[in-house]
């Protein structure tokens, strides 16, 4: 049976509000860590993920417990942000499209450690905020595809932004495959897919202060190649097969 993908609302790629409108959100993210709002949302979404989507993380120990790190997952659903953090203890900081920063959600986002990016503008402020968080030893999540895949399949092309962040910061990147979240929108039909999050081995590149566009794209492509490989494993043998193979590899 063909996969049922409920229609996604049309995307608005340019926010008409000026850059200055978002300055206060960047300032908070650069100077303060997420507060109790992050933990409250985390508890609620983790219970939801475990209960309805039977979410399980495989090899979450691949995420360094301390120090700067970039988490690089594929992106199908608005729930991917929450699936990503279910199995790890670190507070994950997210870069979200600026259109989401409207009352009352902007308060929750800001206090939860989320910061805006003005898609379509080459937003330097977002990169400065991300770099500052990594510089303080934080954990950033960034999607190679930029936005959600609207086909239910991994994107054919990836954005170079994550390559830029990896090279400018020198932080390790953990490629991550989120499998099953393309069907999360089917909850309206009382269909709750099983979601698996597979954490790959960290990859690190030598720090480059001003990487060329070609260098940024090459790193982004390499990261997404790793994500494709992780996703293919889950497609081929499923959650149990991958978990079994990982256990056997640790015993060897």
pLDDT at 1 over 50: no
Per-residue pLDDT, 12: 57
Quote the tokens at residue 172.
């390790």
pLDDT, position 2: 41
Q: Strands, E, within 172-218: which ranges?
A: 173-179, 196-199
What Rg do the C-alpha atoms of the chain give, in angstroms?
A: 18
pLDDT band at residue 192 under the 50/70/90 scheme: confident
Residue 187: which pLDDT band, with cuts at 50, 70 and 90? low
What pLDDT, on the 0 to 100 scale, is given for residue 123?
Answer: 87
| Lowest model confidence (mean pLDDT) among 4-18, 89-103, 202-216 | 4-18
What was the pLDDT predicted at 147?
Answer: 82
Three-class SS of residue 219? helix
Can you give 61-110 as a three-state secondary structure string? HHCCCCCCEEEEECCCCCCHHHHHHCCCCCCEEEEEEHHHCCCCHHHHHH
Query: pTM above the 0.85 mark?
Result: yes
Higher pLDDT, 199 or 148: 199
**Residue 63 token pair:** 């995420």
**8 Å CB contact between 74 and 177:** yes
Poorest-pLDDT segment among 161-175, 180-194, 208-222? 180-194
Q: Identify the band that residue 186 occupies on the pLDDT scale cut at 50, 70 and 90.
A: low
**Residues paired with 116 in a beta bridge:** 96
Query: What's the angle, vertex CA 127, arms to CA 123 and CA 132, rounded to 5?
Result: 145
Q: What pLDDT sits at residue 183?
A: 84
What average pLDDT score do residues 162-170 get?
A: 97
pLDDT at 121: 82
- Give the residue-averaged pLDDT of 20-38: 95
pLDDT of residue 227 exceeding 50 = yes
How do residues 111-158 score in pLDDT, each as one tens digit?
999 999 997 787 899 999 999 999 999 999 999 988 888 788 899 889
pLDDT of residue 32: 94
On the question of pLDDT at 76 being above 70, the answer is yes
Confidence band, pLDDT 50/70/90 cuts, at residue 188: low
pLDDT digits (tens, 9 = 90+) for 143-155: 998 888 878 889 9
Is the confidence at residue 222, as pLDDT, over 90?
A: yes
Asked whether the predicted pLDDT for residue 19 surpasses 80, the reply is yes
pLDDT at 9 over 60: no
Whether 10 shows a pLDDT value over 70: the answer reads no
- Average pLDDT over the chain, rounded to whole? 91
CATH superfamily of 19-251: Glycerol-3-phosphate (1)-acyltransferase (3.40.1130.10)
């Amino acid at each position: 049976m063909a996969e049922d993908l409920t229609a996604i609302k049309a995307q608005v790629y340019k926010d008409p509000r000026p850059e200055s409108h978002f300055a206060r959100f960047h300032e908070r993210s650069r100077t303060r860590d997420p507060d109790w709002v992050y933990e409250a949302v985390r508890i609620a979404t983790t219970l939801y993920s475990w209960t309805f989507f039977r979410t399980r993380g495989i090899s979450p120990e691949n995420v360094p417990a301390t120090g700067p790190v970039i988490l690089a997952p594929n992106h199908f659903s608005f729930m991917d942000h929450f699936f990503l953090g279910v199995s790890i203890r670190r507070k994950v900081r997210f870069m979200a499209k600026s259109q989401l920063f409207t009352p009352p959600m902007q308060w929750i986002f800001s206090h939860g450690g989320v910061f805006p990016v003005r898609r379509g503008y080459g937003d330097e402020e977002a990169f400065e905020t991300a770099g500052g968080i990594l510089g303080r030893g934080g954990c950033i999540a960034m999607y190679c595809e930029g936005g959600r895949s609207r086909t239910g399949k991994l994107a054919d092309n990836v954005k170079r932004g994550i390559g830029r962040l990896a090279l400018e910061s020198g932080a390790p990147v953990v490629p991550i495959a989120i499998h099953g979240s393309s069907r999360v929108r089917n909850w309206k039909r009382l269909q709750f897919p099983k979601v698996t999050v597979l954490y790959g081995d960290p990859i690190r590149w030598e720090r480059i202060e001003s990487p060329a566009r070609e260098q940024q794209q090459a790193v982004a492509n390499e990261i997404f190649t790793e994500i494709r490989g992780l996703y293919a494993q889950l497609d081929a043998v499923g959650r149990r097969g991958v978990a079994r193979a990982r256990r056997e590899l640790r015993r060897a």
